[in-house]
């Protein structure tokens, strides 16, 4: 048994009258309920009502139609509670366009008739009381609010640091890199407010030791894709000096600093795998004294 009746009378809520509500509700609510009562003594294999995605997802200008179809969904649940067969298929737009769907045609994706019938077959073969059969391209169309958490849209491409620096003035590059270094310093030291870090204050005064110095070096090397020495905070002792060094290292050989930093045994972010902590600490202590 299939209930497929429906009438639309679209309009904003403020324009709806009792007559306009009755005209839309009658085919759905009255028709489906009478069909339910008339078949109570029959051994039906299926009892299918054609609902609408408007009742599930909402549709602009179709409050009366959405309410009528929501009744169908509730009727199906009621019948299931009585142990009777029942299935509600909440249809999206599908071709060919009918008098019911002509008002939304062109604003929504439409399924082919073959696709719609295949979805109906799948719904009949399943165990769910309510299904939505619609062609929703969540990556292309703005998804309905209740489906936004399911939208599998591709995340926007993330620009590399080099791409973010490209085309900027020297001052703009320095400002971006100062912000990067300040963030990493705060993260390594566990400081809650990065904004209070003075860019010209010696990092050793903030509490850096050999281990945290290496952690900062590793974070900055990973962020900039630049090989940095283990002695970074001793060669460039504050946030601004490190930022300027990073800018010159990332700008290319023509803008390289006039003096090179002191060489160290661990000269890249991955060298810690080959050098023990004791060896690195001994190197720093021998070269600069205990931090």
**In the prediction, which pLDDT does 103 show?**
54
Q: What is the 3-state secondary structure (H, E, C) of 232-262?
A: HHHHCCCHHHHHHHHHHHHHCHHHCCCCCCC
Task: Answer yes or no: do 241 and 131 share one domain.
Answer: no
Residue finishing a domain among 126, 150, 174: 150
Q: What percentage of residues in the chain have a pLDDT greater than 70?
A: 75
Give the helix, strand, coil percentages of the chain, each rounded to 5. Answer: 50, 10, 40
Give dist(CA 83, CA 70) in Å, integer.
20
Confidence of residue 283 (pLDDT cuts 50, 70, 90): low
Task: Answer yes or no: do 68 and 116 share one domain.
Answer: yes
Backbone angles phi, psi at 14, to 5 degrees: -65, -20
Pinpoint the alpha helices (H) of 48-145.
Answer: 53-57, 63-81, 113-125
Which domain covers residue 238, as residue numbers?
A: 161-288
Give dist(CA 74, CA 67) in Å, integer.
11
Residue finishing a domain among 128, 150, 172: 150
In this model, does residue 114 exceed pLDDT 60?
yes
pLDDT per position as a tens digit, 32-41: 999 999 999 9
In this model, does residue 225 exceed pLDDT 80?
yes
Placement of tokens 């995340």 in the chain: 155
Placement of tokens 């009438």 in the chain: 7
Task: Answer yes or no: do 68 and 187 share one domain.
Answer: no
Confidence of residue 266 (pLDDT cuts 50, 70, 90): very low
Mean pLDDT of 118-124: 94
Give dist(CA 98, CA 209) in Å, integer.
75
- State how far the alpha carbon of 235 is from the alpha carbons of 78, 188, 242, 262, 280, in Å: 76, 18, 9, 7, 16
Q: Does residue 204 form part of some domain?
A: yes
pLDDT, averaged across the chain: 81
Residue finishing a domain among 99, 124, 150: 150
In this model, does residue 58 exceed pLDDT 90?
no
Q: Does residue 193 form part of some domain?
A: yes
State the total domains in the chain: 2
When computed from its CA atoms, the radius of gyration of the chain, rounded to whole angstroms, is 34
Give dist(CA 284, CA 117) in Å, integer.
74
Q: Does residue 156 form part of some domain?
A: no
**DSSP 8-state symbol, 284:** H
Tell me whether residue 17 is exposed, middle or buried, using C-beta atoms within 10 angstroms of its C-beta: 0 to 12, 13 to 18, 19 or more.
exposed
Q: Does residue 58 form part of some domain?
A: yes
**DSSP 8-state symbol, 48:** E
Q: Does residue 121 form part of some domain?
A: yes
Confidence of residue 139 (pLDDT cuts 50, 70, 90): low
**Neighbouring C-alpha atoms within 13 Å toward the C-beta of 75:** 25
Does the pTM surpass 0.75? The reply is no
Mean pLDDT of 57-66: 84
**In the prediction, which pLDDT does 273 show?**
44
- State how far the alpha carbon of 133 is from the alpha carbons of 2, 54, 80, 247, in Å: 16, 12, 20, 55
CB atoms near residue 51 (< 10 Å): 30
- Tokens for 137, please give them: 């391209």
Confidence of residue 94 (pLDDT cuts 50, 70, 90): confident
**In the prediction, which pLDDT does 129 show?**
95
- Tokens for 67, please give them: 């309410």
In this model, does residue 265 exceed pLDDT 50?
no
**In the prediction, which pLDDT does 27 show?**
92
Task: Answer yes or no: do 127 and 169 share one domain.
Answer: no
Q: Does residue 284 form part of some domain?
A: yes
Task: Answer yes or no: do 43 and 180 share one domain.
Answer: no
CATH number at residue 67: 3.40.50.720
**In the prediction, which pLDDT does 155 show?**
59
Placement of tokens 């990973």 in the chain: 222
Task: Answer yes or no: do 128 and 239 share one domain.
Answer: no
Task: Answer yes or no: do 247 and 267 share one domain.
Answer: yes
Task: Answer yes or no: do 172 and 263 share one domain.
Answer: yes
CATH number at residue 198: 1.10.1200.10
Task: Answer yes or no: do 167 and 119 share one domain.
Answer: no
Q: Does residue 57 form part of some domain?
A: yes
Q: Which of 72-81, 190-199, 265-274 has the highest mean pLDDT?
A: 72-81
Task: Answer yes or no: do 265 and 219 share one domain.
Answer: yes
Q: Does residue 220 form part of some domain?
A: yes
Helices (H) and strands (E) in the chain, counts: 11, 4
Mean pLDDT of 89-112: 70
Q: Give the relative orientation of helices 277-288 and 210-224 as an angle to the nearest 10 degrees.
A: 100
Task: Answer yes or no: do 122 and 175 share one domain.
Answer: no
Task: Answer yes or no: do 25 and 138 share one domain.
Answer: yes
Confidence of residue 136 (pLDDT cuts 50, 70, 90): confident
């Amino acid at each position: 048994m299939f209930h497929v009746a429906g009438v639309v009378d679209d309009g904003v809520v403020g324009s709806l009258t009792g007559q306009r509500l009755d005209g839309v509700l009658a085919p759905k609510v009255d028709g489906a309920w009478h069909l339910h009562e008339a078949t109570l003594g029959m051994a039906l294999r299926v009892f299918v009502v054609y609902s609408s995605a408007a009742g599930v997802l909402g549709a602009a200008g179709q409050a009366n139609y959405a309410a009528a179809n929501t009744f169908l969904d509730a009727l199906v649940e009621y019948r299931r509670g009585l142990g009777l067969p029942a299935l509600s298929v909440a249809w999206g737009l599908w071709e060919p366009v009918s008098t019911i769907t002509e008002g939304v045609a062109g604003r929504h994706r439409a399924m082919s008739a073959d696709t719609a019938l295949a979805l109906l077959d799948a719904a009949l073969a399943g165990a769910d009381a309510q299904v939505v059969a619609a062609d929703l391209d969540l990556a292309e169309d703005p998804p309905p609010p209740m489906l936004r958490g399911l939208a599998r849209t591709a995340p926007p491409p993330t620009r590399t640091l080099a791409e973010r620096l490209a085309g900027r003035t020297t001052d703009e590059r320095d400002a971006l890199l100062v912000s990067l270094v300040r963030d990493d310093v705060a993260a390594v030291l566990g400081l809650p407010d990065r904004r209070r870090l003075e860019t010209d204050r010696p990092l050793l005064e903030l509490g850096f030791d050999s281990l945290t110095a290496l952690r900062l070096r590793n974070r900055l090397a990973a962020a900039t894709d630049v090989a940095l020495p283990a002695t970074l905070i001793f060669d460039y002792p504050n946030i601004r000096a490190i930022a300027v060094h990073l800018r010159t290292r990332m700008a290319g050989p023509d803008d390289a600093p006039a003096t090179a930093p002191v060489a160290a045994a661990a000269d890249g972010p991955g060298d810690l795998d080959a050098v023990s902590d004791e060896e690195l600490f001994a190197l720093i202590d021998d070269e600069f004294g205990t931090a």
